[in-house]
Chains A and B, each alone.
Chain A
Amino acid sequence: MTDRRSFLRMAIMGTAGIVVAGCDRISQSRWGTRVLGSAEGLNRRVQALLAPSSAMAKEYSEADISSVFHPNGTTMPTTPTYQALLANRFRDYKLQVDGLVSRPTKLSIDDLKKLDTRTQITRHDCVEGWSAIGKWQGTLLSALLDHVGVDPQARFVVFHCFDEMDAGMPYYESVDIAEARHPQTLLAFALNDKPLPVANGAPLRLRVGRQLGYKQAKYLSRIELVKSFDAIGDGKGGYWEDQGYEWYAGI
């Protein structure tokens, strides 16, 4: 009986091994990645249909806030520019806004606070699977877009960051204009009623209410409006997107 059992076990393990090896080959092939990735477009279109662009992310109460908002990814950018700004407690910080806009500009945190702001207690869902709830205060990205005047040709808002993932490869992200104009899309300068901590993206980070954590770019240095992000990074619209993650991070 043990013979038969070990044969059965070997047969099962062998079959599983072949399946896994086959799947790994498909994962490494260009066509496999493309075919499997076709679900992204379907997810984006169907989710836009089921949860319209005006739909709001759930907002929680003070009691729901995580005692520790887990910082992920970079927690201390090491670039000299960032270190110099940090040394001066971001008093010299200015967010650069350019690209397809009528009035390219540079704004301090105080300038941003003069535009329309919003406070929201929302849930942050990491692509890894965990969630945390935080109270964010920030400038509506739509208010900033109105302030600088968006060229009708612009389709995406690209967020350039201070932190480098690999040497010379700064973090970046992008969202489309509709997501950028959503009332819960903020340039957040405060977390839980305190200035944004360095680990969570000081002095300014993006909050997109209805997408995964990797969209919530930290350490913003520059916002650029573009027609296409093909020429930025590897052309997929974000640092993690260039590593194979979906640009549409709604699921």
Chain B
Amino acid sequence: MNMENVAVADISVPTPEPAPSRQLVYRHTLPIRIMHWVNVIALSLMFFSGLQIFNAHPNLYWGNRSDKGREILSLSAHRDSAGNLVGTTSIGHHQITTTGVLGVSKDSDGTPTVRGFPSWLTVPGPAWLAMGRRWHFFFAWVFVLNGLCYVGYSLVKRHLQRDLWPTGADWRGVGRSIFDHIRFKHPHGAEALRYNILQRLAYLTVIFIFGVGIVLMGLAMSPRMDAVLSPLVEAVGGRQSARTIHFIIAWAFVAFVLIHVFEVLISGVFNQLRGMITGYYRVDTSARTTGRSDKGLVVAKPVDAEEIDPAGPDTSVVDEATPHETTAAEERPHD
């Protein structure tokens, strides 16, 4: 967070009650918000159209060739003795029956059909490789240009250097951060404005390893680009290896999105969404932190939770993002 540019708008309207110190902090700038949502659209459509393209040959290999019998992953179909279609997912030598989802699934009129991924996961829905490619390549350009804008903007605005690049203090707190994450414990005070070490590492990995990697592996599948990229293609094992890595990174993006959305859900979904839509994020500045306050962190009022009297004056603070509990305000998954 660029603290110099943080515009703080006090929204605590005068009330007869002791004013709770809640503040809306301008957290995400307009370009970041636009690029975030453009990325949501581009990544989703590339994923769904990518599965459409994958369905044209739902097998993965390692190396340069697609040799029959050497599949490392295969979504296939056969008929059982009763003549019913059975979908099978093979990973190496392991086979799992996945009828209904992988290998065989119902098409729009409910007829069991041979297809890798089901129609509700592909764009377009029906098997239509030519159109899947159009979607994929169109949004690949959106994704790449948006990503370049993001990296350029973040470098110029020092978002990357300040907010994403881990500091020494971040690294020292890595154990604590892991412990907090597995307990689904999130900071709420001004500390919540700052990306923690795991967030920083996750975002950097997603941007520079997943993002750059998936684009390079996509280009490594292009026969024209391979005229100049063949050292890269051979370095990863071959064109089919590049296709396999492209597929794995696509699912790694899905895993990231699931974790990202889960963290948003448990850390105050309304506040987080408002932050990424309007830019304003509500912080509880009454100095109730999650129980740690590393020295050197930019915290409005660094107070150790241990020092806070659970029945202290700040218990009147109510925030939709903060369930009213004593001591460490800890949110849990609602289910």
Contacts and interface: CB of A to CB of B under 8 A. Distances in A.
A55 interface: yes
B227 A56 contact: yes
Interface in A229-251: 240, 243-246, 249-251
Contacts of B124: 20, 23-24, 27
A42 interface: yes
Interface in B30-70: 44-45, 48, 53-54, 56-57, 59, 61, 64-68
A129 B130 contact: no
Interface string A1-38: 10011000000010011011101100100000101111
Nearest to B225: A51
A64 B227 contact: no
A27 B122 CA distance: 12
A117 B73 CA distance: 40
Interface in B97-146: 119-126, 128-131, 133-135, 137-138, 140-141
Contacts of A240: 130
Interface in B231-250: 233-234, 238-240, 243
B222 interface: yes
Contacts of B193: none
Contact of A20 (B120, B129, B140): B120
B245 to A, nearest CB: 14
Interface string B182-222: 00000000000000000000000000000000000001011
Given A24-B125, A27-B124, A129 B53 contact: yes
A87 interface: no
Where chain B touches its partner, the secondary structure class is helix
B222 A251 contact: yes
B222 A245 contact: no
Give the bracket for the number of chain B residues in contact with chain A. 35 or more
9 contacts: A17-B120, A20-B48, A21-B125, A27-B134, A35-B138, A43-B137, A125-B239, A133-B65, A244-B134
A167 interface: no
Interface of B: 44-45, 48, 53-54, 56-57, 59, 61, 64-68, 119-126, 128-131, 133-135, 137-138, 140-141, 219, 221-230, 233-234, 238-240, 243, 334-335
A108 interface: no
B67 A210 contact: no
A170 B126 CA distance: 26
A13 B65 CA distance: 37
Contacts of A129: 53-54, 56-57, 66, 243
A64 B238 CA distance: 11
A35 B122 CA distance: 19
Nearest to A65: B65
A243 B128 CA distance: 10
A58 interface: yes
A40 B138 CA distance: 8
Contacts of A37: 134, 138
Given A20-B123, A50-B225, A251-B222, A127 B129 contact: yes
A88 interface: no
A197 to B, nearest CB: 17
A251 B64 CA distance: 16
A36 B134 contact: yes
Given A24-B125, A39-B140, A250 B225 contact: yes
Given A39-B141, A127-B56, A251-B137, 20 more contacts: A1-B335, A5-B335, A27-B134, A39-B134, A39-B138, A51-B228, A58-B226, A64-B65, A123-B64, A123-B223, A125-B221, A126-B57, A130-B61, A130-B240, A133-B64, A210-B224, A210-B226, A243-B130, A245-B130, A245-B133
